[in-house]
Amino acid sequence: MVSIRLIQHAPGAPGLRCFGLGPDLRPSRGLLKLQNLLNKHAFWARGRSRRQLRRLLAGSEAVVSLWRGKRLVGFGRATSDGLCRAVLWDVVVAGDLQGRGLGRRVVEALLAMPAVRSAERVYLMTTNSAGFYHQMGFADAAPQALLVKLRDTASPDSGPGQCCSTASCGDPPLRP
Ligand SMILES: CC(C)(COP(=O)(O)OP(=O)(O)OC[C@H]1O[C@@H](n2cnc3c(N)ncnc32)[C@H](O)[C@@H]1OP(=O)(O)O)[C@@H](O)C(=O)NCCC(=O)NCCS
């Protein structure tokens, strides 16, 4: 049986981002595989280009990937100011491997990484998976409210970072 390997990437995931590196720093076409994983199993992150993914990785202080042999089967990332606030984004496990504890491994690994561990509060947005996060100690944030400002990121002024959906991690147009 092929075991599942978890990688805690350096901030910005330079190996994965620039060279598609996977386990043991081997070239693994990781960025293409990440694109496919998100397209298939993360409805909020469909259609992101590899250029966009590079930019998202570059801006992420914590990045985790899960590999079964050469297959990328899980992913998660976080942004953080390293002191007060961190936010988890794009936590996903391949459909055929869900329900085996892999999502928990991804989240626990993100929470253990220095940039996230040092933050006083860790936030996330989710549409269907609140129960999953409750199991790991996350609580509903009420009375805090989640607000959103929709931007026209298709305009030329916005540059190459435009995103296919309004936010991340399970965020449909207006109601996460
Ligand atoms: C949500 C997701 C990451 C969970 O990963 P997973 O590998 O299936 O979850 P795990 O097997 O680690 O589950 C851990 C626990 O959470 C529970 N759980 C998993 N998904 C859940 C859900 N959607 N709602 C409530 N509980 C859930 C499991 O039953 C398990 O409980 P147990 O420890 O008592 O058995 C995965 O289902 C997924 O990728 N879904 C599609 C993308 C998505 O919605 N991601 C979340 C974006 S915010």
What domain range is 22 assigned to?
4-161
* Residue 173 located in a structural domain: no
* Residue 168 located in a structural domain: no
Q: For the segment 122-163, what is each residue's pLDDT rounded down to a tens digit?
A: 999 999 999 999 999 999 999 999 999 999 876 554 455 455
Distance CA 96, CA 78 (A): 24
* Residue 175 located in a structural domain: no
* Residue 8 located in a structural domain: yes
- Look up the pTM and report it: 0.91
Q: For the segment 50-90, what is each residue's pLDDT rounded down to a tens digit?
A: 999 999 999 999 999 999 999 999 999 999 999 999 999 99
In angstroms, what is the span from residue 157 Cα to ligand 1's centroid? 38
Ligand 1 contact, 100 CB (< 6 A): yes
* Residue 39 located in a structural domain: yes
Ligand 1 contact, 41 CB (< 6 A): yes
* Residue 166 located in a structural domain: no
Ligand 1 contact, 98 CB (< 6 A): yes
* Structural domains counted in the chain: 1
* Residue 176 located in a structural domain: no
* CATH code at position 89: 3.40.630.30
Q: What is the mean pLDDT of residues 103-110?
A: 98
Q: DSSP letter at 10?
A: P
Q: DSSP letter at 43?
A: G
Q: DSSP letter at 153?
A: T
